[in-house]
Chain A
Amino acid sequence: MKKSVVSKEYQKLQKDIIELQEQWKTSLDPDCVRPNLDKAAMEAGVPVTALAAIDFDISLFLQWIEDIGALLSKYQPEIETSMQSLKNLLDEETAKRWIDEAFAFNYIYFASFAEENDLDGWIPQFVAETVLRPYLQLTAVKVQDEIHHGVHGAGCPVCGEPVRLAQLEGEGKKVLHCPRCSAHWNDRRVACSHCGNNDHETVKILTIEGESAAQIQICEECKGYTKVIDTRQYIVKPTPAMLDLNTIHLDFVAQEHGYKSAGETKQTN
């Protein structure tokens, strides 16, 4: 049976990060996130977090960056210097900017921040994204009962992350899970989760030998793919973030075959 291609050590680090994020999330005052459930905006595909009022506590934000720095240094002691210089660089203004840019997934900003400050390219965005997630996850917890369906092509209805992971639940229902904010919503089993195409001729399944619980749903119309994992076969259900990480080989397979994690929107007149 195929084991995950991700090393045990990296899996362990990610588990620790997820645990830390869970602690951060529960330490937040639930009222710091005030979602505005605008039905019309949601139906147009605007993610809930874009319209939610979120009170970010900058001192907490900086504290979390220290926490994540300490955790990373535990696994990779040579990173400690970078984390220390990052701590010195981050004042209130920069932290505010980081929140905005992490929200917008502005990798160009973080790449240039790293370059200007002589940091490893991955560090600023990784750290910013990690400390932003508890707010996204808290938003998802608050609105989960109102989220039943997504808008095809718009990504996660809570945080806007492109769709790439579905789980089979109950009697075979396809439920999309967001590895970023942990929101989940229903989708039709045979439909492409990106463009909504439900033509059985063009929505196909890629299976991998030795993978009994995973397959890749692909769409010839928009060239998008979704990993579909039958988590009913698991003894303990992994978190969407861990599941996404442990099935990264499926992303490679799909992308090697020319499919993308965000489907292309067809041009119409």
Chain B
Amino acid sequence: MAEYTKYVDVTKCDGCRACMVACKNWNDLPAEPEKFQGSVQSHANVTANTWNVLSFIEHEDSKGNLDYLFRHSSCFHCSEAACVKVCPEEAMHYTDFGTVNVDSDKCVGCGYCVQNCPFDVVQLATYKDKNGKEYKKAQKCTMCVDRLEEGMQPACVTTCHTDAMEFGTQEEMLKKAEKRLSEIKDKYPNAMIYNPEGVGGTHTIYVLAEKPSVYGLPEKPKVPTSAVVWKDYAQPIGKMMLGATSMALVGAFVSNKLFNKEGKGHEEDGGGSHE
């Protein structure tokens, strides 16, 4: 099956937020009333129930002029995804379209994917069963895999009225990005295609007008070394010896020691801080 890529040209985006609405609507995601963020941006980041956030960035360009930058942000669907690498239950997996999905039946809510995603797009949602018991599941943009299976484009792409988003085969979208880059280089000297190699390339590629960091993106994201260690060494031995339930407990301990992002902030390479 062909691998598909979402192409996002931020220089065409006018910040209408229709993609956010289409995403909520198609995926039946509940509304999340937010406090005023100090700007017109509605949510600070994607959450477990808001998989797609339009970020609004006030940027001073090299000439000292104010530029208002918009970016549709959701899961990047990395080709070598850290979330897939660290998932102890194989709930995070690649689909036939090359995108990354969560199998909710398998997900135990351990949160390793949340801790290891270099883009901070995976979050845990809390659910209650009929006995009132709470449990957690990882949630993120699915690239509307249910639509892809029917030969249709993701909901966000179909609603974009400025054609800032398009969807097609990887090759086509990369060509489109390169063409567009050559068109905007004069206006935006720092413009670039964002398709980071450190995660094997992504299935959402951007044409950015400025450096990634301006958009709050890591310049050189990569799969954290600790994640590789975890999956390749710790987990198979642990699973053999302990079984899945005990493994989750040990895993939580190891994870807190090794991977914990909290308080460390984001470094520019996005993955270096985990080592």
B150 A3 Cβ-Cβ under 8 A: yes
Instruction: Tell me which residues across on chain A come within 8 A of B153, comparing CB atoms.
Output: 233-235
B148 A235 Cβ-Cβ under 8 A: yes
Within 8 A of A (CB), among B146-186: 146-153, 155, 158, 167-168
- Majority secondary structure, B binding face: mixed
Out of B4, B146, B158, name the residue touching A233 (CB < 8 Å).
B158
Instruction: Tell me which residues across on chain B come within 8 A of A236, comparing CB atoms.
Output: 151
Q: Say whether B26 faces chain A, with CB atoms less than 8 Å apart.
A: yes
Q: Say whether A15 faces chain B, with CB atoms less than 8 Å apart.
A: no
* Residue with the highest number of chain B CB atoms closer than 10 Å, among A233, A234, A235, A238: A235
Q: Say whether A117 faces chain B, with CB atoms less than 8 Å apart.
A: no
A237 to B146, CA, bound (A): 17
Q: Say whether A68 faces chain B, with CB atoms less than 8 Å apart.
A: no
Q: Say whether A5 faces chain B, with CB atoms less than 8 Å apart.
A: no
Chain A interface residue bracket vs B: 10 to 19
Q: Say whether A108 faces chain B, with CB atoms less than 8 Å apart.
A: no
Q: What mask results when residues 226 to 261 of chain A are scored 1 for a CB within 8 Å of chain B, else 0?
A: 000010111110100000000000000000000000
Instruction: Tell me which residues across on chain A come within 8 A of B4, comparing CB atoms.
Output: 235
- Majority secondary structure, A binding face: loop
Q: What mask results when residues 96 to 133 of chain B are scored 1 for a CB within 8 Å of chain A, else 0?
A: 00000000000000000000000000000000000000
B162 CB → nearest A CB, Å? 12
A236 to B148, CA, bound (A): 11
B217 CB → nearest A CB, Å? 26
Instruction: Tell me which residues across on chain B come within 8 A of A213, comparing CB atoms.
Output: 152
Q: Assuming the A-B contacts A232-B158, A233-B158, are A1 and B151 also in contact, with contact meaning beta carbons closer than 8 angstroms in the complex?
A: no
A250 CB → nearest B CB, Å? 15
Q: What residue in chain A is nearest B2 (Cβ atoms)?
A: A235
Instruction: Tell me which residues across on chain A come within 8 A of B149, comparing CB atoms.
Output: 1
Q: Say whether A212 faces chain B, with CB atoms less than 8 Å apart.
A: yes
Q: What residue in chain B is nearest A237 (Cβ atoms)?
A: B151
Q: Assuming the A-B contacts A1-B147, A213-B152, are A235 and B158 also in contact, with contact meaning beta carbons closer than 8 angstroms in the complex?
A: no
* Residue with the highest number of chain B CB atoms closer than 10 Å, among A3, A233, A238: A233
A-B contact pairs, 26 of them (CB 8 A): A1-B146, A1-B147, A1-B150, A3-B150, A212-B26, A212-B147, A212-B152, A212-B155, A213-B152, A230-B158, A232-B158, A233-B147, A233-B152, A233-B153, A233-B158, A234-B152, A234-B153, A235-B4, A235-B148, A235-B151, A235-B152, A235-B153, A235-B167, A235-B168, A236-B151, A238-B151
Interface residues of B (CB under 8 A from A): 4, 26, 146-153, 155, 158, 167-168
- Beyond the given pairs A230-B158, A235-B152, 17 more chain A to chain B contacts, judged by CB atoms under 8 angstroms and listed by A's residue number, are A1-B146, A1-B147, A1-B149, A1-B150, A3-B150, A212-B147, A212-B155, A213-B152, A232-B158, A233-B147, A233-B152, A234-B152, A235-B148, A235-B151, A235-B153, A235-B167, A236-B151
